[in-house]
Structure 1
Amino acid sequence: MPPKLVLTVLDGMKPAMLERAIALGRAPTLKAIQERGAYVDDCVAAFPSVTPVCAASIATGTSPDRHRIPSMNWFSREEERYVEYGSSFSASRKFGVLRSLTDTVYNMNAKHLAADTPTVFELLDDADVRTAGTTYLMYRGRHEHHVTTDTPLARIANATVFREPVNGPRELFYADLFASRRTGCRGQFGMPGARDAHTGCVGSYLVEHDLFDFLLFSLPDNDTWSHRNGPHAQVTSIAAADRQLERLVHAGGGLDRFLEEHAMIVMADHSHTHVEQKIRLDTAFADWAIARPNGAGATDGEIAISPAQRSAMIYVLPEERRSQRAADAAALALALPGVDLAMRRAAPREGVIASERGELHFAPGGDLVDLRGRRWSVDGELETLGGRIEDGRLLTPDYPDALGRVWSALTCPTAGDVLLSAGPAYEFVDWGGAAHIGGGSHGSLHRSDSLGALLWCGTGPANRDAHEQWTLRDVLPIVTEHFGLPTPAAG
């Protein structure tokens, strides 16, 4: 049997801030993992680079076109309503708090995540690997779990909205809602600032009682801290996350003994960039009929707008003239200060990316090869993406894996007709009127919030050279290969 494996997702961890925390001596456990293994300082996030999309890519090893989670906020044409995963509490109130919680806790995994795209838990469960997970957006596995009633908060939740069981890993601990066994750990109902400590408590219990072969160890509080205080304040929150890793290691007999018995992967799902100004799509499209949230669904409208931090989507609802109206919407949005890129499909197999620097048409297949080895044909201004061609290779350093990420987002069945990416320092105001001015945010195609940290030891390739450009999708194959399973087809 291979060593046990812990996959830690440290939400929003910016590589420069990880390196600073290590240099200052505030992240000794992360330093040990880095020194004993490999480190990637530019692992490319999914697009949009918001947590639900990135979490789905980590959990499934695929892109949005396969896993079908398009953004933080999106419009379901099938149900004719908005889906809101918790952009802010004010946004959740706008759509109905119970509806938002139901979408986030239940529907994201049971209905929205593609049923034919297995998660890491499902793949390992099917191979009789003992799986475990702490509070993480993507938890779908093969084992049924009922809502716990061990805490007053859980009993209140059970009496109101959370009544149905879920399918998760063998050992599932999701806030205080689901707990496969009594650990004595309390998650304060998943409140920011308490989530990492809950993960540390649960993780140390699982190590002490030898309850897993694979553990997804989720540390989300860095993201909340960075949203509030800015990415350059992350040293404090990364140090706090490191203390929970230290807690896990201590439960296994200390660093040396723990790393003899456990392989480790630590990764960010995306990065963060500083926000100084905001973009309001609702006022920009005031002359259009916008579908408005009404708690349970949406009123009639010509378009639905879905802001998601530093990304956004526009849905053209009537089928007639959809392509033309999408082009009109893209042009209007691109004229707004702070909108960097507007993307749409010009044909079933062709995409268009526009910026103030020009317009680029592209399609899969062709003579140009990107850093991921995918082939493309392009027509128009490469300066749209600050791109260049060298020896037949397409390079877009400011927008890593640009064409692959944009194409997978455009071809996601649940995505909007127009995708928008904000320029550095800008953020789209969410439906609740919230933005992270003075703090940090993410979601764009730009490198500033698309390149996260990835490090591992005791598993995986000997060094980072296994891929010229690493992405979130490369982590699932490391996990499955660690346990001797076939490498899943990438998406």
Structure 2
Amino acid sequence: MKKIILILLINAALLAGCQTRPPNMHQLHTQSERTPSSKPVILLMADSIMDKPLQEAIRNGQAPAFEFLITHGRYYPDVVSSFPTMSVTVDSTLLTGTHPDQHRIPGLVWFNAGEQRVINYGTGLREVIKQGPNQVLTDSLLHLNNRHLNPDIRTIHEQLADHGKESASINALIYSGNTKHKLVLPDSVASLSPLPSELETQGPKLLSLGVLSQHNPANQWNTFVWQSYGINNKFSAEELKMMIKENRLTDLNVVYFPDNDLIVHRKGPETLKGIREMDQQLQEILNAYGSWEESLKQAIWIVMGDSGQAVIGADRNKSVIPLKERLGAYRIADQNPPAAGQDQMVLCVNERMAYVYLLTPDLSFEDVAEQLRQDDRMDVIAWKENDGVRVRAGGSEKTLHYNVNGTYVDTYNQKWSLQGDHDLLDITVSEGDNKIQYGSYPDALQRLYSSLNSHEGRYLVITAKPGYEFIGDGSPTHVGGGGHGSLHKDDSLVPLIVTGTDLLPHSLRLVDMKPWLLQLLNVKND
């Protein structure tokens, strides 16, 4: 999902038929705080990379760079992502070390109760056109990092700067930091938008985001319309290679490789194409040091995914769940204009997850849940109840209620109270010591609880079973391919490769990556 902003830019360019202005070039800042004996940390995020296809590519000899890093480091196949498993939420968790109940980015699409409108950072072209490209551009380019991301929660970029360290962000959509930057819109977009051609934003010392903000002059050949204006693997690799060759790496360098996501969406989770292509870029990056062995001496390497993807069935009539039809008894608001007084409900679809907002007090969660559970393609159906969480499931009469601070303790030393059918979330409780073990829904209690407390409003969280995805008012579908968003392990588990350090995160969860990264850089997590 790293290309969501560029979907808008591509559309605008095609409509305008214009050439883009010269790319926004900045002078790279040489990091100054890191001593020659300390290693920079290079964190490569590979969108939708998963353990099974990665291992197959290595066995087939199609991923020698991945294999090299694994052989000379450590490999963990099942790091738990954030929830919903959508890029903006996942990235916010990575950079803040918090769940959505604290960082306040609940998904790619959500309903802002205070403004009475849907926030859409750019899911699909039809939704964007319906809502209005200008509003989506404003939300994604300005509000996402500078307003919607909780300003009271410090990102890793901000904390490093506070301690005299420098950091870089290449092609990451979440990048909030202490340094002012300008994002320069291409002429083809600026000519169609009331937004100023230059937008001010806050980021780390070095911010690179496709054609909007680039540093390597040679990268202008990787920023054309058909190359997603620079939000692509080649652009990311070229920016990083220049930093390596010119000895301009910062203390922490976060680099996103987005291409695999769209490939998996089209071809399904078993495809190796995106892994092969990223491995080629990774080989070039390692070669920038002169030899692969030298690259290990000069940096700490971390390569990981952001979310997985589940298979979506090839039969559209079965694999796509039309929420408007399922909830047809209610008056459902259009995404644009904002919800009106007569509307009862707003639907915000995030692929295999959705928020269902109840706008009128006469609607009960139980009644809506009863409508939803009639469809056995539904997986988890949940809402807030008595300060806790009520869980139902499609095609089932079972129910579960849970809350924080109970007598049950899970794998991550989080305490919970539980009443009802544990198997709704595939939870096993050991008799005698009340230990919770998770099955098909990793860290389910915390991740679901945080999503239900991530923003204001009365809403249900629903997910689809593997093989299925939701469709809303113009949202994209991935029939015969792959999709993510849900709580299920298919969407939630990602691999992690660590080379060059013996330090490990507190637990194998994305939410625990930030304090670990700070520890690697000798910075206190205050």
Corresponding residue of 2:426: 386
Q: Work out the CA distance in 2 between the residues paired with 1:240 and 1:194.
A: 15
Distance verdict in 2 for CA 1:433–1:457, change over 3 Å: closer
1:26-105 to 2 correspondences below 5 Å: 26-105=62-141
User: Secondary structure of 1:92's match?
Assistant: helix
* CA offset digits 1:141-172 (Å, max 9, x no partner): 111111347x6657758885553211111111
Percent identical among aligned pairs is 27
State the number of aligned residues: 477
CA contact (8 A) 2:169 2:175 kept: yes
CA contact (8 A) 2:211 2:229 kept: no
Q: Work out the CA distance in 2 between the residues paired with 1:346 and 1:416.
A: 10
User: Secondary structure of 1:206's match?
Assistant: helix
- Quick check: 1:178 aligned with 2:213? yes
Q: Work out the CA distance in 2 between the residues paired with 1:452 and 1:104.
A: 25
* CA offset digits 1:176-222 (Å, max 9, x no partner): 11235745443336719961111011111111222222211100111
Corresponding residue of 1:126: 162
CA contact (8 A) 1:193 1:221 kept: no
Corresponding residue of 1:351: 389
Corresponding residue of 2:52: 16
- Quick check: 1:423 aligned with 2:465? yes
CA contact (8 A) 1:192 1:221 kept: no
Corresponding residue of 1:224: 262
Q: Work out the CA distance in 1 between the residues paired with 2:311 and 2:263.
A: 13
Q: Work out the CA distance in 2 between the residues paired with 1:415 and 1:22.
A: 46
Corresponding residue of 2:280: 243
CA contact (8 A) 1:293 1:299 kept: no
* CA offset digits 1:389-437 (Å, max 9, x no partner): 1242112211111111111111112476200011010100142142111
CA contact (8 A) 1:12 1:223 kept: yes
- Report the residue type matching 2:418 in the other structure: V
User: Secondary structure of 1:104's match?
Assistant: helix
CA contact (8 A) 1:460 1:478 kept: no
* CA offset digits 1:294-346 (Å, max 9, x no partner): 26x3444111111110000111123x34xx62232222122224111101111
User: Secondary structure of 1:448's match?
Assistant: helix
- Report the residue type matching 1:165 in the other structure: E
Q: Work out the CA distance in 2 between the residues paired with 1:122 and 1:41.
A: 30
CA contact (8 A) 2:42 2:299 kept: yes
- Report the residue type matching 1:177 in the other structure: L
Q: Work out the CA distance in 1 between the residues paired with 2:203 and 2:457.
A: 26
CA contact (8 A) 1:275 1:425 kept: yes
Q: Which moved more, 1:471-480 or 1:420-429?
A: 471-480
Alpha-carbon distance, 1:282 to partner: 1.4
1:292-441 to 2 correspondences below 5 Å: 292-294=334-336, 297-300=338-341, 301-318=343-360, 320-321=361-362, 325-348=364-387, 350-355=388-393, 356=396, 358-390=398-430, 391-414=433-456, 417-441=459-483
Alpha-carbon distance, 1:288 to partner: 1.0
* CA offset digits 1:419-461 (Å, max 9, x no partner): 0011010100142142111010011111111111111111353
Alpha-carbon distance, 1:40 to partner: 1.3
Alpha-carbon distance, 1:252 to partner: 2.3
User: Secondary structure of 1:121's match?
Assistant: helix
- Quick check: 1:108 aligned with 2:144? yes
User: Secondary structure of 2:503's match?
Assistant: coil
Q: Work out the CA distance in 2 between the residues paired with 1:144 and 1:60.
A: 19
CA contact (8 A) 2:302 2:499 kept: yes
* CA offset digits 1:18-59 (Å, max 9, x no partner): 111122222222212212222111111111111111111111
Q: Work out the CA distance in 2 between the residues paired with 1:124 and 1:11.
A: 25
Distance verdict in 2 for CA 1:485–1:421, change over 3 Å: same
Corresponding residue of 1:255: 292
Distance verdict in 2 for CA 1:162–1:364, change over 3 Å: farther
Q: Work out the CA distance in 2 between the residues paired with 1:246 and 1:159.
A: 42
Q: Work out the CA distance in 2 between the residues paired with 1:223 and 1:66.
A: 27
Match of 2:200 among 144, 147, 165: 165
CA contact (8 A) 1:5 1:264 kept: yes
- Report the residue type matching 2:233 in the other structure: D
- Report the residue type matching 2:204 in the other structure: P
Q: Work out the CA distance in 1 between the residues paired with 2:514 and 2:166.
A: 16
Distance verdict in 2 for CA 1:37–1:94, change over 3 Å: same
User: Secondary structure of 1:341's match?
Assistant: strand
TM (norm. structure 2) is 0.86
User: Secondary structure of 1:476's match?
Assistant: helix
Distance verdict in 2 for CA 1:72–1:125, change over 3 Å: same
Distance verdict in 2 for CA 1:206–1:154, change over 3 Å: farther
CA contact (8 A) 2:100 2:451 kept: yes
1:193-208 to 2 correspondences below 5 Å: 195-208=232-245
Q: Work out the CA distance in 2 between the residues paired with 1:158 and 1:482.
A: 43
- Report the residue type matching 1:379 in the other structure: Q
User: Secondary structure of 1:178's match?
Assistant: coil
Alpha-carbon distance, 1:259 to partner: 1.4
Corresponding residue of 2:23: none
Alpha-carbon distance, 1:132 to partner: 1.2
- Report the residue type matching 2:352 in the other structure: R
CA contact (8 A) 1:222 1:238 kept: yes
Match of 1:136 among 169, 172, 194: 172
User: Gaps spanning 5+ residues in structure 1: where?
Assistant: none
Q: Work out the CA distance in 2 between the residues paired with 1:158 and 1:88.
A: 19
- RMSD, aligned α-carbons: 2.1
- Report the residue type matching 2:224 in the other structure: Q
TM (norm. structure 1) is 0.92
Q: Work out the CA distance in 1 between the residues paired with 2:229 and 2:219.
A: 19
User: Secondary structure of 2:234's match?
Assistant: helix
Q: Work out the CA distance in 1 between the residues paired with 2:230 and 2:174.
A: 20
